[in-house]
Chains A and B, each alone.
Chain A
Amino acid sequence: MSDHRREADPFASLEAGDEFAVRSIMLDKAFVRDYACAIDMNFGRFTDDEAARAEGLPGQITPGNMTLALLGRCLLEWVPGASLKRLGTTFRGLALTGTSVQVNGTVTERSEDGRSIECDVWMEGPEGDRWVIGTATLVRA
């Protein structure tokens, strides 16, 4: 499914079972470091490979708060003009930096009045492992 334009009613054509267009996002080291600093989480594991390795990690990792936010970003890109009412995530694996991830989403339910939709959303690593899984509720703005 292609993205929905703001000019159109973002909910008009969405039905349970619809899949959103997969988004590829590069977890570039500088991107992750800058975001971590922007949310005052400039801890070594999120900003620097060496500091992360000193903690026993394979290298710089992405904060869970950032993977969650990226899922939120994709949801509002898929349905522009909607409001995010709820977003729940489970962090299942280390989101390593320097890798490209794919964010997927599906509509699981549409409310009877058409004012909200429920979605599944998840982030896959390069091997297809689901590093982050989540559910969300979007409502008409």
Chain B
Amino acid sequence: MAFADIPRSVLGQEYDRLSYPEVTAEELIHYARKLGVTDPIYLDEEAARRGPNHGLVAFPTYVVKLRGGKMMPPEVVKEMSRGGFDAGKDIEFHAPIRPGDTLTARSTIFDIYEKTGRTGSMWFVVFRTTIENQRGELVANVDSRIMQRGRSGEEPNR
């Protein structure tokens, strides 16, 4: 079984939704520290108040922590028997995350496609996690690409 066998009917279907506890200043600062960020606007509430965001906000890549509760839907899990690699991520950042926000992550399969390179066919599944805050504002779209080597002569399962 392989990614090429995933039915296209799964595209766009929400397979997971997770609401997180209220964001705290401490966890935003903890994240920035562990990444080695030194800019005080991400580490110190007083400095953040004087900064461009007029208050503490998450360092943008904090959103990688918000991966939802279920990594992938069952239709994809069963096709992972041939393995898969984390090929990359694309993130669009929108509203900043502030202490007191309550965030919800919704997960869908955004795309399934094939690419042919020097080493042959590769199949990609793109998982999209859409993160919104308590006001319904879009915080980020996080697209994660998982890649699998294809078999020769594979046709997508439409």
Closest to B31 in A: A38
Measured CA separation A122–B93 after assembly (Å): 19
User: Given A38-B30, A68-B61, A87-B61, A73–B91 Cβ distance below 8 Å?
Assistant: no
User: Given A72-B60, A81-B52, A141-B52, A35–B35 Cβ distance below 8 Å?
Assistant: yes
Decide yes or no whether A51 CB sits under 8 A from chain B: no
Closest to B53 in A: A141
Which residue of the partner chain, among A35, A69, A70, A84, contacts B93 with CB atoms under 8 Å? Answer: A84
Closest to A135 in B: B90
1/0 per residue, CB under 8 A from B, across A30-44: the answer is: 010011011110000
Measured CA separation A65–B60 after assembly (Å): 12
- How many residues of B are counted as interface, with CB atoms below 8 angstroms from the partner's CB atoms? 25
Cβ–Cβ contact A35 & B92, under 8 A: no
Contacts of A31 in B (CB 8 A): 36
Please give the distance in Å from A65's CB to the nearest CB on chain B: 4
Cβ–Cβ contact A68 & B65, under 8 A: no
Which residue of the partner chain, among A69, A80, A90, contacts B35 with CB atoms under 8 Å? Answer: A69
Please give the distance in Å from A81's CB to the nearest CB on chain B: 6
Cβ–Cβ contact B89 & A64, under 8 A: yes
Q: Can you spell out 26 A-B residue pairs with CB atoms less than 8 angstroms apart?
A: A31-B36, A38-B31, A38-B65, A65-B64, A65-B89, A66-B35, A68-B64, A69-B59, A70-B36, A72-B60, A73-B36, A73-B37, A77-B39, A83-B52, A83-B93, A84-B60, A85-B92, A86-B90, A87-B61, A87-B89, A88-B89, A89-B89, A89-B90, A90-B88, A91-B86, A91-B88
Which residues of B approach A to under 8 Å, CB–CB? 30-31, 34-39, 52-53, 59-61, 64-65, 67, 85-93
